[in-house]
Structure 1
Amino acid sequence: MEIKIDDLSGNEVAVLISEHLQGMTEHSPPESIHALDLSQLKKPDITFWSAWEGNDLLGCGALKELDPQHAEIKSMRTSSAHLRKGVAKRLLQHMVDIAKERGYKRLSLETGSMDAFEPAKRLYESFGFQYCKPFSDYVEDPNSVFMKKEL
């Protein structure tokens, strides 16, 4: 698996982000969807990675810098054809490693509270993320859970 910084210009990535946004729409009410679209993911405070095996897109993930010591995990998604193969685990480890290299002291994330998000929550828990109060501009929401990891 090759994980690389991606400029979000490829069709495969656009399709995966569209799939991600559609999945959020299926499982969360509109006011509780915090997923970013392609244009938002291209902002300078965000680094976006894609994971590939040859020409096959396996998944993606991003880090959004909130301040010089704190970043947020965004847009974690595994292609539906590659679920349960360790793609998300490898991407998450890559982003944790990069966050440490950059000198961040904390990683945070928001994900859904519904059953569809249980695999994601288990993954984050396995990496030592703990549940916390909303961070940054988030507010309490019964459809969201917030997690953090001190680095």
Structure 2
Amino acid sequence: MDIRIDDLRGAATIALLEAHRQNMFEHSPPESVHALDLDGLRQPGITFWSAWEGDVLMGCGALKELNAEQAELKSMRTADGHLRKGVAAKILQHIIAVARNRHYKQLYLETGPVAAFAAARALYARYGFRECGPFADYPEDPYSVFMVLDLTDAQALE
């Protein structure tokens, strides 16, 4: 699997991100959907990666800098034909490694509490993320689960 920085211009990437946002709106009310659109993902301070096997897009994920010590995981998505193949784990490992290399102390994320997000929450927990309160400018929301990984913890998975 080749994980590389993506310019968000390819048809496959755009389609995957559109499916991602559509799925978020299927499980949360509009005011509780925090998935970024293409313009949002193209903002300074956000690095977006896609994972490929040959010319087949397998998944994606992004890292958004919140400040010099904190970042947020965004737009984690595995393409439907590649679920349960370890794609999300590989992308997550890559993003955690980049966050550590950038010397962030905490890596945050926001996901949903419903069953559709259970596999994602379990993946994040396996990599050391723990539930926390809202961060950055997120409000308290019954449709959000906030999680954080302490990147300074030597016990956190490498």
Question: What TM-score bracket applies, with the shorter chain setting the length?
Answer: over 0.9
C-alpha distance in 1, partners of 2:101/2:37?
27
Q: CA deviation at 1:113?
A: 0.8
Q: CA deviation at 1:136?
A: 0.2
Scaled by the length of structure 2, what TM-score is found?
A: 0.95
Mapping of residues 1-151 of structure 1, within 5 Å: 1-151=1-151
Scaled by the length of structure 1, what TM-score is found?
A: 0.99
Q: CA deviation at 1:139?
A: 1.0
C-alpha distance in 1, partners of 2:8/2:134?
28
Matched residue pairs, number? 151
Runs of 4+ aligned residues of structure 1 deviating over 3 Å after TM superposition are none
Equivalent position amino acid for 2:63 in 1: L
Q: CA deviation at 1:41?
A: 0.3
Equivalent position amino acid for 2:42 in 1: K
Structure 1 spans left out of the alignment, 5+ residues: none
Q: RMSD of the TM alignment (CA)?
A: 0.4
C-alpha distance in 2, partners of 1:128/1:72?
15
C-alpha distance in 1, partners of 2:150/2:25?
30
Instruction: Provide the identity percentage.
Output: 59
C-alpha distance in 2, partners of 1:35/1:69?
22
